[in-house]
Amino acid sequence: MSTSVHVKPLERLSAAEAAAWHQVVAASMNHDLPGVPAPAPGQIHAQLTQPALGSRRLTWLASGADGVPVGVAGLRVFTSPGQEHLAELELHVDPAHRRLGTGSLLLSAVVEACLTENRRSLIAAAAADGPGEAFSERWGFRRALTLDHLMLRLDERPAAELPQITDTAPPGYRLAGWTGTVPDELADAFASAKNAMNDMPVGDLDYGSVAWDADRVRAMAKVIADRGDTLLTVAAVHDDGTMAGYTEILLPQGSGPRAQQYDTAVVPAHRGHGLGLWVKAAMVRRLRAEHPGVVEIETDNADDNVHMLAVNHRLGFRSYRRTRELQLDVPAT
């Protein structure tokens, strides 16, 4: 165990501390996830300083004897009803300073905070079969879910090649779309559709569930806007006014070339009509028309989510990496 590393909690994040955090995360991701762009400094600052939806964040910085930042840890403590047992870990150690006990010092501080916060489940994500997974398993984390990450290269798939089924609305449905906050007239219907995400495959994760209402979907959009990101939504609306399904895309601040897929869901009563494929293809067309600088979309699916994987493959998504969701059952004091 390293005796020359100092771990301190970050109370009010300074600009220098945010820069140090970015330095460690960028070094860690460049080593462990080549080809996956690290968050920009502004994204890191917003993540650490802006309020999150249904959670609050605790953070730690590890520095060497010379004051150089060598590791960081963040703990997202969930506060929504149905998730009060849960916390989520992000931990990075600069590759040049690994195997010296820094990660263990940070994780010890995180586990102590979980005990203080009365959390029974600590979840984390790591590249499959990578150093983060090996480190977590040495600490007693277990594999709970495997995620298949897929990429769609928009510049390699002409619009004409999208499946013909996506060109025509399924009978009884129409498309709706918006940027940022859902229009008031669709807010309640959107919240109801959001609850369909509660049956998505989560493997053995003790993830809990979240109840969505109009206020929560508005709050979600505000959190995303406040950190400088842009949220695009395309939805399928039934003739009776209910929202049957939707898909969301996040454009990180600065609108770089890679967009991130957020939720895609189809309400159980409306499944079997091809709505998932329809709304996702409509989103691809929207991106091409409104955001031509976006050339790739990244998404992830549980490896047993056979239906959504099939939808994504039909659209041209291709697998390019895998991650594991890991869970530590925090021992009660």
Q: Is 159 helix (H, G, I), strand (E, B) or coil?
A: helix
List, for residues 311-328, the tens digit of each pLDDT value.
Answer: 999 999 999 999 999 999
Tell me what pLDDT residue 272 has.
92
Tell me what pLDDT residue 144 has.
95
What is the DSSP pairing of strand 86-93 with strand 121-127?
Answer: parallel
Q: What is the maximum alpha-carbon separation in the chain?
A: 67
Tell me what pLDDT residue 3 has.
58
Res 114 pLDDT > 90? yes
Q: Two tokens at 205?
A: 């994760």
List, for residues 172-194, the tens digit of each pLDDT value.
Answer: 999 999 999 999 999 999 999 99
Domain with CATH 3.40.630.30 in the chain: 6-119, 150-322
Strand order in the sheet with 318-329: 6-9, 55-63, 69-78, 86-93, 121-127, 318-329, 142-153, 296-302, 258-266, 243-251, 230-238, 173-179
Confidence of residue 233 (pLDDT cuts 50, 70, 90): very high
- Specify whether the CB–CB gap between 254 and 40 falls below 8 A: yes
How far apart CA 276 and CA 15 sit, in angstroms, is 42
Res 99 pLDDT > 70? yes
Domain 150-322 has CATH 1.10.645.10: no
Find the mean pLDDT for residues 254-266. 88
List, for residues 276-296, the tens digit of each pLDDT value.
Answer: 999 999 999 999 999 999 999
Find the mean pLDDT for residues 223-240. 95
Tell me what pLDDT residue 18 has.
94
Find the mean pLDDT for residues 91-99. 96
List, for residues 9-25, the tens digit of each pLDDT value.
Answer: 998 889 999 999 999 99
Tell me what pLDDT residue 315 has.
92
Secondary structure letter of residue 271 according to DSSP = T
What CATH code would you report for 6-119?
3.40.630.30
How far apart CA 97 and CA 71 sit, in angstroms, is 8
**Residue 87: CB atoms within 10 Å:** 25
How far apart CA 72 and CA 39 sit, in angstroms, is 14
Dihedral (Cα; 185, 230, 248, 43), 10-degree rounding: -140
List, for residues 36-87, the tens digit of each pLDDT value.
Answer: 888 889 889 988 998 889 999 999 999 998 999 999 999 999 999 999 999 9
Tell me what pLDDT residue 1 has.
46
Closest by CA position to 152, among listed 11, 22, 261: 261
Res 256 pLDDT > 80? no
Tell me what pLDDT residue 209 has.
86
**Residue 19: CB atoms within 10 Å:** 13
List, for residues 200-228, the tens digit of each pLDDT value.
Answer: 777 788 888 889 999 999 999 999 999 99
Res 165 pLDDT > 60? no
Find the mean pLDDT for residues 249-272. 90
- Specify whether the CB–CB gap between 244 and 237 falls below 8 A: yes
How far apart CA 2 and CA 211 sit, in angstroms, is 44
CA angle, corner 128, sides to 44 and 113, nearest 5? 50
What interhelical angle do 15-32 and 41-49 show, nearest 10? 120
Q: What residues contact 247, with CB distance under 8 A and at least 6 apart? A: 233, 234, 235, 261, 263, 264, 276, 279, 280, 283
Confidence of residue 162 (pLDDT cuts 50, 70, 90): low
Residue type (1 letter), 208: G
